[in-house]
Structure 1
Amino acid sequence: MRSKHLSAGGKYTRENGVYASNYVYGANGDARIGRLYSPLDQETLSAVTGLRGELATGPVSHRINLAANGIWQEKRNAFENTAAGSRGFGNLYEGQPVAEPPATSVSGDIHDPDTTAKVQNRSLAVSDTLGLLDDRVLLTLGVRRQSIGADAWSAASGARTSNYQESITTPAYGLVIKPTEYLSLYANRVESLQQGPTAPAAALNNGEMFAPYRSKQTEVGAKLDWGTFGGSLSLFRIEQPQGVLGGDGYYRVDAEQRNRGVELSLFGEPLDGLRLLSGATWTKAELSGTTGGRDDGNQAV
């Protein structure tokens, strides 16, 4: 059996955001209140295509998948900020209305923002799911080639601030064992190339785009399915770089975030045509590899 698919789409976003930022300077919660106005235009195009096929080599079945996709994105952005000396006064623990601080600096044309970032993300993947023992054991082996190109420009000067072109080949593998008709035990590991973070508007280097990075995800779990009701329980671990806004106001990627968690989901169909879903996730996110080990073990937010 063989099948193919092709789809494409696009999105346009227009955002006019006015934001407040607290800069706490006292142990009692005293803070200065800043203002940021940031108009944003964003255009995104995406396309995906693929082929699927099935065949058998003796007692082993094969489900082969070939897929290609791409995402193209362009951002236009500008900023209007409040300098430190013009920020309002407030307290972290005693919230009260604060007069809107004045705009003291402008980066770019807030009425007609220029292009500040372009990103192209392309990938080609192939996988084979081998079925053994009448498909009661399924082993998936795959490989993916990814390329990410990213360019960024200063909203203030228009100068190029970042230019990255990264490519990587990553594996993907998974195992499913079905000891009974209703129970499946599984494990998988996936690695991928992710677009690097962008310094937030509150950072002095706002808009700076960082290099793409490799993320890793491992998951093990069990799934019960009796048709009209069932559930699943899984344990997962995700590793990826973490950006931090430093005390000097600059945003840097100098740490690793490790997310470990447990996920439980349940489903049921108590009445014909009525299907209920519920779930819960517990996650613990920790920092590691921070500068000088200062924040190692701290909870990531």
Structure 2
Amino acid sequence: MPVSRLYEPQVAPAQTAVNRAAIAAAIAVAFSMPALALAQSTDTTSAPDSTLPAVKVQATKDTLPGDLSPALPGGQVASGAQIGVLGQQKLIDVPFSVTSYTSKLIQDQQAHTLADVVANDPAVRTALGYGNFAETYIIRGFEVYSDDIALNGMYGLTPRQMVNTGAIERVDIFKGANAFVNGAAPGGSNVGGSINVQTKVADDKPLTQVTVEGSASGELGTHVDVGRRFGSNDQFGIRVNQTVEGGDTAVDNETRHDQQTAVSLDYRGDKLRLYADFLYQKEHISEGRPGVFVTGDVVPGTPSASYNYAQPWTYSEMEDTVGMLRGEYDIAPNWTFYAGLGTRHTTENGDYSTVAYDEGSALGYRMGTMHKEYSLSAQAGVRGKFDTGPVTHSLNLGWQFNRVAAYNAYNFSDFSAEFPTSLYATPSVPRPATSFGAGDFADPGLTSVALMRSFVVSDTMGFFGDRFLFTVGARHQNLVQNGYDYGTEVQNSAYNQSATTPILGAVYKIQPNLSVYANRSESLVQGGTAPSTAVNIGAILSPFRAKQYETGIKYDANHYGAALAIYQIKQQVAFTDSTTGIYAANGEQRHRGIEFSMYGEPLKGLRLIGGASYINASLQDTDGGTENGNRPIGVPAWTFNANVEYDIPQVTGLTLMGRALWTSTQYLDQANTQQVPSWTRFDVGARYQTSVFKHNTSFKVMVTNLANRSYWSSALGGYLTQAEPRTAWFSVTTDF
């Protein structure tokens, strides 16, 4: 993650009040709007049938747009997902590679953060953020920042550094270029894929569930999940989730304290559906084990799995408050208008100390940050279906808006007085004094504003009774990024560029449960600005496009499924040419890959999730050609997952689980001289479901990194992330 991402806070004190008022209004309006919704739902008149000779409006009604796709048997993977502007779709019907994991998987595996969930996917790996403890995800070899996770299809609203799972119903993983379906991510990542989380809403069945959990290292936690529906037709719903946990982690001297409160309100009418979500999350990490930079030529061996080389004065505290409103209204049979509005306020502060290793010796320094961030997101659009003769059409028109304002302050210890440290026998040093810094920690000033606006249109045409589906569309996006001096808030940089990203996709159903697909799509990120060392200093490059070609096959047998994808992604790379001195998009990073995944319950009581991914990644047209053909930093050639669950027939209610993850070697440097070894991780788990005093109760245990193996799990970003040591969680869940 670029250094500048540590200092991206955005919005003035006056705007602070506005955003907080918007969050409060999201809850208040959620309670007041259902009354209007009830009045709307009493209008039962329908639009007259079309009399145009070439066009007819279908009268049949699909699943409500706000409904979730059903889970496959076993309940851990869903048959559909939220596909950005296309809305909820069956996976076998879309020309993309998507997997959706459910809240049942989250609960069965005692997944605490999003990283624990995506660990099930063979095409995804996780690393630490740059200089902090943010979770960063790697899809098809490209980075996905935690800031760029979507919440209910909208960017800029998820907690900034990591996402806890207490309020999550689904985790949708989209693999591949996605500027058309999701728009460009405000943080500037999501080149090789994206992640969307969907929040829990009240189910038809009343729910009161309490979980008490603990870890072998000393963490304790509780999770309360309550859901109810009200009204003559159960049209009103409320879902409340509260999670509190904390204590010593499996890493020596590291402690974490987490808190999350989530409230979801909804209204389900005949034509109108409304959703209001409030989310509060707070994280505190003391002595978090940091990432490791290598300044020499030798990759260090890993310390023992639980060893901690952090300093005792290091910490990170993150607090996020989120409010959002969404709505859908059926304006005619098979035509739905949708809109959403959300806001997020983030406060993050901490003292960090990174380790710079150089062939046996290591140095550290201190960095303190204060970061405030204010985000506003909005969207609106129309989805509809109609026929023109034998051809069906699914039309999408949409508008999307994101604004992220960052306010920052920072200070450093003296770089010339870095303190000696060690990865293996770390001395505790007093907190180094501040040597220099910028901004006011008590009232950090505006340092950047990112603004993104886009319009999107698409049509999915169905031929031969919808056996062949062809999607064509485009999104026009405007990217604006303004930078401001620390302390003075004087503007020092500006970026304002636009681009249009098209989509072509096709699906052919060989059988109702077997389809082949292909797509040509793009991802979009902000282009670079020429540095002071270039002859064209200050030149602003057009947005960088990652162009993807993908084809694949999907099989969905209702109780299990499988998918195979073959793709190529080319991402532009900018550098200052050593001969001409001109900064330009001169090179590219090319990833050619094959992915295989399988999931479901092929035999009663036997559930599988797994697969493999191969990426042939290389750098092209590098400066002077010296690194042409080299592998990009942190991109393994192979990743493999195998997750098996088995219900023991001799003991009713007992399930055993085993999981294996393997990742091949990676390079820490672009010259490919520093190789990080491959690694393997084994996880095991068990759960027992029974009745205790007539209450459904489940007992669970989950152990990750069973062998307590020590290894560098990722080199993405040019620094090393050490894997978590053996961690054992135990829990008891009871329904009341």
For normalisation by structure 1, the TM-score amounts to 0.81
The aligned counterpart of 2:496 is 165
The aligned counterpart of 1:202 is none
- Aligned partner of 1:293 among 612, 621, 625: 625
In structure 2, how many angstroms separate the alpha carbons of the residues matched to 1:160 and 1:134? 57
Describe the shift of the 1:277–1:50 C-alpha distance in structure 2 as closer, same or farther (beyond 3 A): farther
- Aligned partner of 1:265 among 589, 597, 607: 597
Which SS does the other structure have where 2:443 is aligned?
A: coil
The aligned counterpart of 2:375 is 44
The aligned counterpart of 1:248 is none
In structure 2, how many angstroms separate the alpha carbons of the residues matched to 1:151 and 1:53? 37
1:149 aligns with 2:149: no
1:5 aligns with 2:341: no
Alignment of 1:10-159 (within 5 A): 10-24=343-357, 26=358, 28-91=359-422, 94=424, 96-99=426-429, 100-155=431-486, 158-159=489-490
In structure 1, how many angstroms separate the alpha carbons of the residues matched to 2:351 and 2:548? 36
Q: Displacement of 1:277 after TM fit?
A: 5.0
In structure 2, how many angstroms separate the alpha carbons of the residues matched to 1:90 and 1:197? 36
Letter in 2 for 1:265: S
**Given that residues 569 and 590 in structure 2 are in contact (C-alpha distance below 8 angstroms), is that contact kept between their aligned partners in structure 1?**
yes
Letter in 2 for 1:87: E
The aligned counterpart of 1:206 is none
The aligned counterpart of 2:87 is none
In structure 1, how many angstroms separate the alpha carbons of the residues matched to 2:528 and 2:409? 18
Q: Displacement of 1:121 after TM fit?
A: 0.7
In structure 2, how many angstroms separate the alpha carbons of the residues matched to 1:181 and 1:233? 17
Alignment of 1:176-215 (within 5 A): 176-195=507-526, 212-215=543-546
- Aligned partner of 1:219 among 541, 546, 550: 550
**Given that residues 89 and 98 in structure 1 are in contact (C-alpha distance below 8 angstroms), is that contact kept between their aligned partners in structure 2?**
no
In structure 2, how many angstroms separate the alpha carbons of the residues matched to 1:114 and 1:12? 15
Describe the shift of the 1:280–1:32 C-alpha distance in structure 2 as closer, same or farther (beyond 3 A): same
Letter in 1 for 2:600: G
**Given that residues 106 and 156 in structure 1 are in contact (C-alpha distance below 8 angstroms), is that contact kept between their aligned partners in structure 2?**
no
**Given that residues 526 and 542 in structure 2 are in contact (C-alpha distance below 8 angstroms), is that contact kept between their aligned partners in structure 1?**
yes
Describe the shift of the 1:260–1:103 C-alpha distance in structure 2 as closer, same or farther (beyond 3 A): farther
Q: Displacement of 1:278 after TM fit?
A: 4.6
Describe the shift of the 1:54–1:254 C-alpha distance in structure 2 as closer, same or farther (beyond 3 A): same
Letter in 2 for 1:84: F
In structure 1, how many angstroms separate the alpha carbons of the residues matched to 2:367 and 2:541? 22
Letter in 2 for 1:15: E
1:230 aligns with 2:579: no
Q: Unmatched 5+ residue regions in structure 2?
A: 1-333, 530-539, 576-583, 634-715, 717-736
**Given that residues 498 and 543 in structure 2 are in contact (C-alpha distance below 8 angstroms), is that contact kept between their aligned partners in structure 1?**
no
Describe the shift of the 1:266–1:122 C-alpha distance in structure 2 as closer, same or farther (beyond 3 A): same
Letter in 1 for 2:632: Q
Q: Displacement of 1:127 after TM fit?
A: 0.7
In structure 2, how many angstroms separate the alpha carbons of the residues matched to 1:18 and 1:253? 36
Q: With CA pairs under 8 Å and 6+ residues apart, which has the higher RCO, 1 or 2?
A: 2
Letter in 1 for 2:452: N
Describe the shift of the 1:105–1:243 C-alpha distance in structure 2 as closer, same or farther (beyond 3 A): farther
**Given that residues 88 and 98 in structure 1 are in contact (C-alpha distance below 8 angstroms), is that contact kept between their aligned partners in structure 2?**
no
Letter in 2 for 1:97: P
**Given that residues 149 and 165 in structure 1 are in contact (C-alpha distance below 8 angstroms), is that contact kept between their aligned partners in structure 2?**
yes
In structure 1, how many angstroms separate the alpha carbons of the residues matched to 2:404 and 2:381? 22
For normalisation by structure 2, the TM-score amounts to 0.35
Letter in 2 for 1:261: G
| Number of positions where the alignment pairs a residue of Structure 1 with one of Structure 2 | 281
Describe the shift of the 1:289–1:104 C-alpha distance in structure 2 as closer, same or farther (beyond 3 A): farther
Bigger Cα displacement from structure 2, 170-179 vs 149-158: 149-158
**Given that residues 74 and 115 in structure 1 are in contact (C-alpha distance below 8 angstroms), is that contact kept between their aligned partners in structure 2?**
yes
Letter in 2 for 1:141: V
In structure 2, how many angstroms separate the alpha carbons of the residues matched to 1:58 and 1:95? 75
Q: Displacement of 1:242 after TM fit?
A: 5.3
Q: Displacement of 1:15 after TM fit?
A: 0.9
Give the structure with the higher percent helix: 2
Describe the shift of the 1:112–1:168 C-alpha distance in structure 2 as closer, same or farther (beyond 3 A): same
**Given that residues 86 and 101 in structure 1 are in contact (C-alpha distance below 8 angstroms), is that contact kept between their aligned partners in structure 2?**
no
**Given that residues 43 and 75 in structure 1 are in contact (C-alpha distance below 8 angstroms), is that contact kept between their aligned partners in structure 2?**
yes
Describe the shift of the 1:81–1:290 C-alpha distance in structure 2 as closer, same or farther (beyond 3 A): farther
Q: Displacement of 1:65 after TM fit?
A: 1.0
In structure 2, how many angstroms separate the alpha carbons of the residues matched to 1:18 and 1:157? 24
**Given that residues 397 and 457 in structure 2 are in contact (C-alpha distance below 8 angstroms), is that contact kept between their aligned partners in structure 1?**
yes
Describe the shift of the 1:141–1:181 C-alpha distance in structure 2 as closer, same or farther (beyond 3 A): same
Q: Unmatched 5+ residue regions in structure 1?
A: 199-208, 245-251
Letter in 2 for 1:188: N
Describe the shift of the 1:110–1:299 C-alpha distance in structure 2 as closer, same or farther (beyond 3 A): same
Which SS does the other structure have where 1:101 is aligned?
A: coil
In structure 2, how many angstroms separate the alpha carbons of the residues matched to 1:137 and 1:191? 23
In structure 2, how many angstroms separate the alpha carbons of the residues matched to 1:145 and 1:58? 30
Bigger Cα displacement from structure 2, 216-225 vs 115-124: 216-225
**Given that residues 445 and 488 in structure 2 are in contact (C-alpha distance below 8 angstroms), is that contact kept between their aligned partners in structure 1?**
no
Alignment of 1:230-249 (within 5 A): 230-241=561-572
Kindly provide the CA deviation profile for residues 214-236 of structure 1, in whole angstroms up to 9, marking residues without a partner as x: 23233221110111211212223
CA RMSD of aligned residues (A): 3.1
Q: Displacement of 1:211 after TM fit?
A: 6.8
In structure 2, how many angstroms separate the alpha carbons of the residues matched to 1:157 and 1:238? 42
Letter in 2 for 1:7: G
**Given that residues 565 and 595 in structure 2 are in contact (C-alpha distance below 8 angstroms), is that contact kept between their aligned partners in structure 1?**
yes
Give the structure with the higher percent strand: 1
In structure 2, how many angstroms separate the alpha carbons of the residues matched to 1:240 and 1:34? 34
**Given that residues 153 and 161 in structure 1 are in contact (C-alpha distance below 8 angstroms), is that contact kept between their aligned partners in structure 2?**
yes
In structure 1, how many angstroms separate the alpha carbons of the residues matched to 2:586 and 2:353? 26
Kindly provide the CA deviation profile for residues 97-138 of structure 1, in whole angstroms up to 9, marking residues without a partner as x: 342433211111122210111011111111111111221111
In structure 1, how many angstroms separate the alpha carbons of the residues matched to 2:433 and 2:611? 46
**Given that residues 284 and 299 in structure 1 are in contact (C-alpha distance below 8 angstroms), is that contact kept between their aligned partners in structure 2?**
no
